[in-house]
Amino acid sequence: MIIKSTLSVASVPVTMPGVSATDMQMLLGPEDGCPNFAMRKFTVHPGGHTPHHQHDFEHEVLVLAGHGLAVMPDGSHRTLSPGDAAYVPAHQMHQFQNTGDVDFEFICLVPARVHQPVNCS
């Protein structure tokens, strides 16, 4: 079993094109010997957002803190609050935006085989 504190994991800026004011922590992944999933924590600062993008893999999101929007494939928006969980199918366009005045934090799980350190949610 591997147990880490999120306080002990470095936070790095996400540098993909189209991202604004977003950091990521790689909580658990292949580097830790996790063969199937990578668990990442994203912090989207006030006014920030992930890029509007898609992946060839699914991922799951759990909102921890703050409030935000999920931009849906048709361009509509869904409000996200702490405790909300979201499933993003492979190839689906999506974006997460911080709509509050505090950090919007969420956990994002992806297959370990596709994780890249700056891969955003």
- For residue range 44-92, what is the model confidence (pLDDT) as tens digits? 999 999 999 999 999 999 999 999 999 999 989 999 999 999 999 999 9
What angle is formed at CA 16 by the lines to CA 30 and CA 49, rounded to 5 degrees?
105
Please, which pLDDT band fits residue 113 given cuts at 50, 70 and 90? confident
59: domain CATH number? 2.60.120.10
Domain limits for position 51: 6-114
Residue 95 lies in a domain: yes
**117 pLDDT higher than 70:** no
User: Would you say residue 121 lies in a domain?
Assistant: no
Q: For 3-14, what is the mean pLDDT?
A: 96
Residue 59 lies in a domain: yes
Question: Is 1 a member of any domain?
Answer: no
Q: What is the mean pLDDT of the chain?
A: 93
Q: Is 46 within the bounds of a domain?
A: yes
85 assigned to some structural domain: yes
H or E element that contains 9: none
**0.75 exceeded by the pTM?**
yes
Residue 119 lies in a domain: no
What total number of domains does the chain contain?
Answer: 1
